[in-house]
Structure 1
Amino acid sequence: MTDVLMIAGSTPKATVVAAAVDKFRQLGARVHLVGNFKVADVDADLGWATVRKVPAVAPASKHVQRKTDAMRFPERLWFHLERDRTAQAAVRAAELVVALDNRAVYSAWRVAQSRRQPEVCFGLAAGLRALEKRLETGAAQPEHVPGALTAATDGLRRRVRTLPADLLRNATGPLALRSRVGARAWRAAVSAPGVPDSLRMTATEQVIEGMWLAGRQSGALVTARAAAEKLADPAIKAQLLDNVASKVIRNGRTPANLTDAVTAYLDLADRRHTAGDLTAAADALLHAMKLAFHRVVHIDQVSSPLAADPAAFTAPFRKSTAASAVVRPKGRLTPAAAPPRDRPLRLLVATTSNANFLHLIRSYYEANPDVELRFLDMAEHPGMKRLNGAAQRHVEHRLGGEPLFAHGVEQQLRPYLDWADTVFVDWCVAPAALFTVVDPGDTRIVVRLHSYEAFTRWPHMMDFSRVDDVVFVADHIRDLSVASVPGLAGEHAPRTHVIDNGMDLANFRRMKDPATRFNLGLVGIGQVAKDPLWALKVLKQLRERDERYRLFLIGGDMGRPSNAAKAYARKLEKALRPLVESGAVVRVGSTDDVPGALEDVGVILSTSVREGCHVGLMEGAASGAVPVVRDWPFFAGRENGAGTLYPAEWIVGTPEAAVERVLSLTASDESWRNAGKLATEHALTTWDWPVVRLDFDRLLFDR
């Protein structure tokens, strides 16, 4: 005789159950009913072996009541079944378990998790078929009872194949997946062989969600990887890995499976590209780029896998046939013409929305009789703005499709290319990429790459064979870019130059009050990369020696474009609150008069994890403040970095070293003023516009 356990999450329909119980008994089964139902609505004359409603009595303590109130109903049902002796006796006797409704599925799954004997089904019809099959095959009891994990895995493999997707939620809640056994069992189930891809995907997503809610984020990543290895459909595989990676990114962290997810999309892009489906290939490639170069991964944290090993990080893109096709050099039919000798140079300066670093360049060359200058802000032209934002069409065109995209670019840019001798594009982002879509004729194309762009996808969407010169603001940015961007190396690569940002520093030289030597200054805390918390460590240690030291924060509050940035900003605000109240920190805020604000700063800090060239630091040095520069971690230990951009004595590796430099140089008014004077001289003779403009003249006029 077979013991059949029916679990009900609500009162079953009497007529349906009566007919089913009669059939079960005709097949020689002993039928038990447990769960949550109205006992009065259950016909006791059907010949039940057990009828047990749970909970039989109200919870004995308020603690248990609060605990069960916090549970979802399926979890609460199992909680009571597990603690009821009569119900547990029926569970131990069961050889076949039938979940009568959605709310009972979780409990049926937990029964399967406890031992191997019971077969678990959903619905009366499935239960009857299972019993008939047992009788036909003469299923025998196993000689031994395997452990809980084996039992769970066996049952779950059947569940993944047969259970409707929406019911999986009842068996993959955080309560089940909080235990190691439950998590391992579901991981084994979703990676079991023979499960259709679509069902494996659905089940894995439910398990990952449950693990996430249960606090098992690393387990969710492992589960995604295990399931992905068994997926045959590359699109489903990429989507699964993307889903869990994006979940980690939304939480403000770099996912451990980032490379797996990026590679899966690149593999998909390669397959679609080979098959000639260029739209799908472009879509997959863009997904790979958006994941790989997400701002949380590189911009909104104090570390970056790209900075740690640029060649290794971008290696999957170099290996991808689709990604390689996007940056394949097309070259130009005509070499760029030399600057004219018989008329002014026609110079087009182009950007989109951000002209912050162009003011001196524009004003100088607009007044230069040897130059005829035009300025183009693409954000102000609707047609160009649309093309800049059409990343899908852009990539599809570079793969060999979307001919209308190139036609649109030709219409928008050809009048400017025909007029200009030289195009200077500031920021290596969408506008720069757009200028390489069409053959520039004999017009020279110059692109300036600052720092931010090196951590974005745009340099990986450009044909650098149509760029004549790339200007970097520092050697370490050039090193990083050349190591990570395929188009910047090889026979078709453009010439590269390092030219400092143009700055009007003469206006920053100011007289400072003697008390200013105890005032530290930090210009700009708007990004996580500025890492102002490092400055607070320095301030804390200084004030332990001398409470006269204060910190002046010049600039607006930190932006919060992502959860990673929000988390850093919250931590910063919490640390700042008592320091501001005590007067140890002065928040100057945004100001149009930075030279005036720097009059109150005696020591200028650069605490960033990365910079191209730290303009605020250079302005502070020009004002006569003593520079203390953190060895920017993104570039520390490399051939070039903060130590090659600035005098070596300015550089410190730790907050402790920064404290010692500050104490040494501010020990007396004389030592502080002498150090400030040297800093001013270095700034004005190295980075002031009259010096830097000579480099731009040499670049533009080939002098």
Structure 2
Amino acid sequence: MINVLIVAGTAPRQDSVLADALERFRREGVRVRLIVDFDLSRISLDPALAELRGLRETEPDDRLRRAMGGIEGSRAVWVRAWHDRVVRQWVHEADVLVSMDMMAVYAVWEMGHRRPDADACHGVGPAARAVQARLAGVPRPKRGLRDTVATRTGIVVRGTRRNATSRARRAMRIGMAPAVMRSGAGAWFWRTAVAAPALPDRIRTAVAYRVHQRTVEADRPQQAAAASAAAAARLEDPRARATLLNREASWELAIGHVPVCLREAVAAELAVADEMLRKKSTLKAAHAAHRAMKLLFHRVVHFEQPTSPLAENPAEFLAPLWDSATGRALAAAQGRAQAAATPPTDRPLHLLILTNGAGHPAGALRQRYDGRPDVHVRYVDLGEDVGDGPFRTDPAAQLGHLLAGSSEYGNRVREWLRPHLEWADIAVADRAEAAAAMTLVDPGDTRIVVCLPDFELLGPWPQLTDFSRVDELVLSSTDLLDLATTMLPRLRADQAPELSVVGDAPDLRAHQRPKDPAARYTLGLLGTNSVDARWAVEVLRRLRATDPRYRLFVGGDDLTPPPGASVRRYHEEILAELAELERSGAVTRVEQVADVPEALTGIGVILGSPVRETFHHAHIEGAASGATPILRNWPILSGTARGVRTLVPAEWVADTPEQAVRRILDLTATEQSWRDNGAAAAAEALATWGGDASGRQFDELLRIPLADPVG
């Protein structure tokens, strides 16, 4: 008698198809046994057609539970089947093995290795043909001793490999427990393990990455870095070394940590870039350089910590970039073919304003000069006006152009930008990304002015700007200009641009309105997406512990968390704090402040706690309105000689919430003291930034004739 063993991993949609096949086998005198890996209630068959065995009908024992640990899908079907004594007997007696669906294929494949004389089929059609061949006596290919030994050896090897892998995984889980990773012995063991000689790179990198994760999670970043360095030193392939270190550094950045191996990861990627550059493979070099710069200028490193290593010691932090052949190639000056022409006197001045995100000073310049008869303005916002054109910037493509000296990307940028530059007498690039794109093109005789927001100094785009094609670089303070010259070697070269300081303040005249007496106890925080609201909340809580009349007005777009685990946690926490304070009446939140001067009439103390810039406009506007400014010293620069005190009076600045609270209590002790201090702040703001001081500075900078005083 011929024995047919059918395995089904999923319930058939139509029992009739299976029943017809079984009926045909019965008529031919074939014994059929059916194994199913689902509830038997989901199948309805005549018991006379087949012996039925359900793999899920009995409770699994401890041995099966251990074997099933972490196994799913088709392999789980096989493991459950082979742990069934009856099924094992059926396999040894089977002449034809049949898988009814994809979930059963692996089980039948394994069974075929254990019953090599049986036919293994997928589906009832091939099974019927195999049965017919056996009934007809068609001879089967003979299997020699070598085939039998190879088959049995394969089974043993697979079983041994699985057992070894399972044991290794269990050992790694135990050996990577936090207590082990924190111990000196554990650190030594894993550092030695990942640096073991003759270990394949694939295994070394996988184990090293897991060791790095577990060691960081155990709060031992230095030990993690040491293990990473030991593993990386054993990797012969520079690409593998860079991949490992980049993966580890990126993982730490994703959870909000500054990686100890950051410098090593950047250097490894730049080493790959240098090698590709030597081989004239500029595209691969550009991609490696891009990976390095994403690590080097990651926001976690510069904006989510108390200070930035780029601000503290730019030369040391940027040394891997500047010392690499790739970095030197990126910094090579292209220069311009001719000097900028003098402004025309026989026609209106043509002013091109190029930005990639409207704001100061681009918006202020447009407002000042648009509509004047002596100035024709062309305003281009790369984010809105260009759409998916050449300026939807691809950093790797821009890097490739700089490294190769030419590229299809550069050709597209030149084709798009050239008509604008030929029209313009003066082109102002506001924002670093716009400046980097503009300097890909020789500007001809157009005068180029670049205005950099303070926070963009801590990003990659200034490093990709060819300042040999810039005539004037503008920042908002002398200290930030000094910081820029330290960060950007091109600004110290022979072809460096002129350096200027223009205070980035709005027109303050509209803010001088009478104060509501109740404003004395109201703190104001405007522009929530560019400030550290937690600092303001801490000041408020301390004030209310002394006098519950103090409250906080929060105005601006709702907090939008940028990517990054630590930033998301911060936003979730601060939103919860603000919601709690709103319920108690201590905080009022307004998402849209349509009339800022009117809102300031109800604010007596204006708080400034910027995290991405030193010149936060809200505190200058608040001071002009008569609200006393209390400004947090910008964290990025607070530990250096540069800081907010170089921009505003020292008495406006507080280094800690405690200092802010003491100053507010003193300033608002009486209504008269509050009004006197507010008047002094308004006088200071108007004297320094009022009367359109910034506008006149730009008139002079852009060589634009002074506007008619009467007009």
Smaller-chain TM-score bracket: 0.7 to 0.9
Distance 1:369 1:502, change over 3 A: farther
Q: CA deviation at 1:216?
A: 6.3
Q: Which residue of 1 aligns with 2:542?
A: 541
1:557 — aligned with what?
A: 558
Corresponding position of 1:517: 520
Change (3 A) 1:378 1:456: same
Give 1:173 deviation, angstroms: 4.5
Aligned partner of 1:454 in structure 2 is: 457
Shift of 1:642: 0.8
The aligned residue for residue 494 of structure 1 is 497
Mapped pair 1:203 → 2:207: yes
List aligned pairs for 1:111-122, cutoff 5 A.
Answer: none
Q: For residues 448-475 of structure 1, what are the alpha-carbon distances to aligned partners after superposition, in whole Å with 9 as ceiling and x for unaligned? A: 1012211111111121100111111223
Find out whether 1:673 has 2:651 as its counterpart.
Answer: no
Deviation at 1:502, TM superposition (A): 4.3
For 1:243 and 1:539, locate their aligned partners in 2 and report how far apart those are by CA, in whole Å. Answer: 41
Query: How do residues 599-638 of structure 1 correspond to structure 2 at under 5 angstroms?
Result: 599-638=601-640
Structure 1 residues 384 and 411, CA, compared in 2 at 3 Å: closer, same or farther?
farther
> Are 1:328 and 2:332 an aligned pair?
yes
Question: Residue 347 of structure 1 contacts residue 421 of structure 1 at CA under 8 Å; is this kept in 2?
Answer: yes
- Structure 2 gaps of 5+ residues are 1-59, 72-150, 706-711
CA–CA separation in structure 1 for the residues paired with 2:339 and 2:551: 57
The DSSP-based 3-state class of the residue aligned with 2:449 is strand
User: C-alpha separation between the residues in 2 aligned to 1:198 and 1:69?
Assistant: 26
Pair 1:418–1:608, CA change in 2 (3 A) = closer
Give matches, 1:470-489, under 5 Å.
470-489=473-492
**What is the match of residue 343 of structure 1?**
347
Does 1:466 pair with 2:487?
Answer: no
Partner of 2:237: 233
- C-alpha displacement of 1:691: 1.6
Give the whole-Å Cα distance in 2 for the aligned partners of 1:382 and 1:557: 27
CA distance in 2, matches of 1:514, 1:579: 23
2:175 partner amino acid:
A
After TM superposition, the structure 1 stretch with the greater mean CA deviation from structure 2, 349-358 or 649-658, is 349-358
Q: CA deviation at 1:358?
A: 2.8
**Which residue number corresponds to residue 263 of structure 1?**
267
CA contact 1:208–1:223 (8 Å) conserved in 2: yes
- Give TM-score scaled by structure 2 length: 0.73
For residue 294 of structure 1, what is the aligned residue in structure 2?
Answer: 298
Which residue, out of 419, 422, 426, partners 1:422?
426
Matches within 5 A, 1:131-150: none
User: Counterpart of 1:93?
Assistant: none
Q: Percent identity?
A: 39
Between stretches 414-423 and 572-581, larger displacement belongs to 572-581
CA distance in 1, matches of 2:165, 2:622: 61
CA distance in 2, matches of 1:256, 1:553: 37
- For 1:18-39, what per-residue CA distance to the aligned partner results, in whole angstroms no more than 9, with x for missing partners? xxxxxxxxxxxxxxxxxxxxxx
Distance 1:58 1:415 in 2: 77
Name the SS for the 1:477 alignment partner: helix
Counterparts of residues 374-413 of structure 1 (less than 5 Å): 374-382=378-386, 385-400=389-404, 402-413=406-417
What residue identity is the alignment partner of 2:450?
V
Letter in 2 for 1:423: A
CA distance in 2, matches of 1:639, 1:510: 36
1:215 Cα offset (Å): 7.1
Q: Match of 1:664?
A: 666
Quote the offset at 1:637 in angstroms.
4.9
Deviations 1:511-533 (A, max 9, x none): 11222111111112214xx2222
Contact 1:187/1:226, CA 8 A, preserved across alignment? yes
Give the deviation of 1:126 after TM superposition. Answer: 11
Indicate how the Cα distance of structure 1 residues 444 and 654 shifts in structure 2: closer, same or farther if over 3 A, else same: same
Shift of 1:549: 1.1
Residue 240 of structure 1: how far off its partner (Å): 0.4
The answer on whether the counterparts of 1:474 and 1:612 sit within 8 Å (CA) in structure 2 is no
Alpha-carbon shift at residue 70 of structure 1 (Å)? 14
> How much has 1:223 moved relative to structure 2?
2.3
Counterpart of 2:690?
A: 688
Instruction: Kindly indicate whether the alpha-carbon contact (under 8 Å) linking 1:263 and 1:288 is maintained by their aligned counterparts in 2.
Output: yes
State yes or no: 1:504 paired with 2:501. no
Structure 1 residue 636: Cα displacement: 2.2
Match of 1:359 among 357, 363, 369: 363
Equivalent residue letter for 2:362: L
CA distance in 1, matches of 2:472, 2:242: 37
SS at match of 2:529: coil
Matched AA of 2:683: E
CA–CA distance in 2 between the matches of 1:210 and 1:679? Answer: 53
Moved more, 199-208 or 257-266: 199-208
State the partner residue of 1:583.
585
Question: What is the SS of the residue equivalent to 1:483?
Answer: helix
Residues 269 and 372 of structure 1: CA distance in aligned 2, closer, same or farther (over 3 Å): same
Moved more, 667-676 or 535-544: 535-544
Q: Is the 8 A contact 1:172 1:210 kept in 2?
A: no
Residue 380 of structure 1 deviates from its aligned partner by: 4.0
Kindly indicate whether the alpha-carbon contact (under 8 Å) linking 2:390 and 2:413 is maintained by their aligned counterparts in 1.
Answer: no
In the other structure, the counterpart of 1:649 is: 651
Summarize the Cα distance change of 1:576–1:373 in structure 2 as closer, same or farther, 3 Å threshold. Answer: closer
CA distance 1:702–1:318, change in 2 (3 Å): farther
Counterpart Cα distance in 2 of 1:298 and 1:443: 35
From 366, 372, 384, the counterpart of 1:368: 372
With 420-429 and 358-367 compared, the bigger mean Cα shift is at 358-367
- 2:440 corresponds in structure 1 to 437
Using the size of structure 1 for normalisation, the TM-score is 0.74
Structure 1 residues 144-185: Cα deviation after superposition (integer angstroms, max 9, x where no partner): xxxxxxxxxxxxxxx9xx999987972564433112455543
Aligned-pair distance for 1:229? Answer: 1.8
Aligned residues: 559
Aligned-pair distance for 1:207? 3.7
Paired letter, 1:531: D
Distance of aligned partners of 1:229 and 1:164 in 2 relative to their CA distance in 1, 3 Å threshold: farther
1:170 aligns with 2:169: yes
Identify which range, 495-504 or 371-380, moves more after superposition.
371-380
- In structure 2, what residue type is equivalent to 1:414? R
Q: 1:662 to 1:215 in 2, by over 3 A?
A: closer
Cα distance per residue 1:44-85 (max 9 Å; x no partner): xxxxxxxxxxxx9989xxxxxx9x999869xxxxxxxxxxxx
CA contact (8 A) 2:529 2:558 kept: yes
**Contact 1:168/1:206 (8 A) holds in 2:** no
Structure 2 counterpart SS, 1:673 = helix
Q: Cα RMSD over matched residues?
A: 3.2
Distance, in Å, in 2 between the alignment partners of 1:634 and 1:452 is 9
- CA distance, structure 2, for counterparts of residue 209 and residue 503 of structure 1: 48
Q: Is the partner of 2:636 in helix, strand or coil?
A: coil
- Of the structure 1 ranges 366-375 and 168-177, higher mean CA displacement relative to structure 2 is found in 168-177
**1:592 counterpart residue number:** 594
Q: Secondary structure at the match of 2:347?
A: coil
Alignment partner of 2:196: what SS? coil
Per-residue deviation, residues 630-661 of structure 1 (Å, max 9, x unmatched): 22222225343211100122122222221121
